[in-house]
Structure 1
């Protein structure tokens, strides 16, 4: 008999249409509706992206489907069927909805994973807390993958993406050592440092591993997409970094947003539109590494860490 293991695939979430942006933004703001000005600004950002909202949501849907396929293929010796469920932080189906769906399907053993390689109590930790509470209330025993920031296959696939773009710079006459590589991730409030949170260190470890494997010597880490709150967030922001590089007469910059695994607003707008516009003003040539999305190599990383965590479950055959 085949045992069934549920996999809760968690991510931030995206509205399914422009009509859903207000409800989505209100949920992010913990029930406080945005002002008309704030709502217009967010809608304008989605509209500025080619294709608008839809491809952002489609990316996440494809990742969940591709992970289920990867988990259930190529391991004939494993008498387990994996069933993936989506759980979003700020949109339907919410994290709790994904757990409920598992319980309805009779699944009692599961693994939870967030589509983010680096752990912070303020990011991945909040997903896990919600999923664990709902799982315990629903009779689902769930183990969690907290991070996978140094998984060899992850470093390999990210290194290949960096190298591919450096090759493009070379084709246009720029030497590889003339290109400044900017690794980046979503900023978080500075107070995580006082908490001993591993987020920054894990990001630096990933950056260093990629740089060493790609033979990159000219690189630095920067932050992006900080929230607009009164408290200070981790910096410097990538826009400030670009200005500093412009003043330093750097001409070629490669953006490598290693904290993001798919094309979302922080990549397609914050980098491809906002940062690109500033780079043009500064006469910098800026390229960005391609996102992982549902790349088979990334699915291999996810399936490996999910299987490893699933091996810790006591699965009953049914």
Structure 2
């Protein structure tokens, strides 16, 4: 335990009011040449929820849960929180850590998988923040945790609960994750991990119930190939094959942020209703005690 004197929770960030929406989306897409009309269309998703993303509230809840878990297990370390794309920004958090005398911290990110956008980009943003703070503490990203029981087991329970709420005939498990460009670094590892998680959850949830892995929330130009199939397209294919009920399990996400609340709970749910499919979406881990304990377990292993 002497190697670290703090834990840093690192997340994506999200708007907390209508005036934040466009500046946030501009932060996220800077340098990518995304047309203004596309940003405004995505902004409309946030405005359906009052211009507020749930992700910052969820990070506050996760931070509090980790602090309580640390206290219950005798881990006497402060927990800080910084975002990549919105307040509290990583740079400000790293500056506060430095001012508090923190010398070496472990970073627990709200992204469970390998690959550039899930892992390496977090490391880049941490290093960028450190570079802006003279005398910044060392910060080590904790390992990828998608295959750990603390991540897989909550999804297994949630998938089982979702599936049991559906009629037994012609059911199907649909596992979803954020799509990424086929050209993105680490894409092969990302897909391999998703397939392993989906298989483990499916086998433990309902052996014999068919399942598939699909993608959602792509944001690139149509000319750029991304991981497919898209969840809404796949729902059409399943209906055409005689499936009448689907349980969607968002294994790519640790909590119910906007890609879950809009892309699955609104867009995919509406498509399922149009197709006459019974549709239910499984819960994400969020503050499940087994998931919360992962931060402590990974920290202690290091």
Confirm or deny a common fold (TM above 0.5). Answer: yes
* Residue aligning to 2:103: 108
Once residues 136 and 12 of structure 2 are traced to their aligned partners in structure 1, the CA distance between those partners, rounded to angstroms, is 25
Once residues 99 and 66 of structure 2 are traced to their aligned partners in structure 1, the CA distance between those partners, rounded to angstroms, is 21
Residue by residue over 1:188-229, the C-alpha shift from the partner in whole angstroms, topping out at 9 and shown as x without a partner, is 110137x56411111111111111222333111000101133
Query: CA offset at residue 4 of structure 1?
Result: 6.5
1:60–1:262 contact (8 Å) kept in structure 2? no
Query: CA offset at residue 61 of structure 1?
Result: 1.6
* Count, aligned residues: 297
Q: Are 2:265 and 1:272 aligned?
A: yes
Q: Give the 3 Å change call, closer, same or farther, for CA 256–46 of structure 1 in structure 2.
A: same
* Residue aligning to 1:301: 294
2:155–2:283 contact (8 Å) kept in structure 1? no
Q: Are 2:52 and 1:53 aligned?
A: yes
* Residue aligning to 1:18: 18
Higher mean C-alpha displacement, 282-291 vs 54-63? 54-63
Higher mean C-alpha displacement, 292-301 vs 245-254? 292-301
Once residues 40 and 139 of structure 2 are traced to their aligned partners in structure 1, the CA distance between those partners, rounded to angstroms, is 40
Q: Give the 3 Å change call, closer, same or farther, for CA 160–116 of structure 1 in structure 2.
A: same
Q: Give the 3 Å change call, closer, same or farther, for CA 192–37 of structure 1 in structure 2.
A: closer
2:272–2:278 contact (8 Å) kept in structure 1? yes
* Residue aligning to 1:8: 8
* Residue aligning to 1:188: 180
Once residues 13 and 30 of structure 1 are traced to their aligned partners in structure 2, the CA distance between those partners, rounded to angstroms, is 15
CA RMSD of aligned residues (A): 2.3
SS of the aligned residue for 1:191 comes to: coil
Give TM-score, length-normalised by structure 1.
Answer: 0.86
Aligned residue runs from structure 1 range 147-296, under 5 A: 147-169=144-166, 173-175=167-169, 178-192=170-184, 197-217=188-208, 218-229=210-221, 230-296=223-289
Once residues 179 and 56 of structure 2 are traced to their aligned partners in structure 1, the CA distance between those partners, rounded to angstroms, is 22
* Residue aligning to 2:94: 99
What are the ranges of 5 or more consecutive residues in structure 2 without an aligned counterpart? none
Query: CA offset at residue 52 of structure 1?
Result: 5.0
Q: Give the 3 Å change call, closer, same or farther, for CA 274–196 of structure 1 in structure 2.
A: closer
SS of the aligned residue for 2:184 comes to: helix
Higher mean C-alpha displacement, 60-69 vs 103-112? 60-69
SS of the aligned residue for 1:111 comes to: strand
* Residue aligning to 1:28: 28
What are the ranges of 5 or more consecutive residues in structure 1 without an aligned counterpart? 310-318
Residue by residue over 1:4-56, the C-alpha shift from the partner in whole angstroms, topping out at 9 and shown as x without a partner, is 6221111111011111111101111216897664454233212323x651644
SS of the aligned residue for 1:72 comes to: helix
Give TM-score, length-normalised by structure 2.
Answer: 0.90
Q: Give the 3 Å change call, closer, same or farther, for CA 56–115 of structure 1 in structure 2.
A: closer
* Residue aligning to 1:42: 42
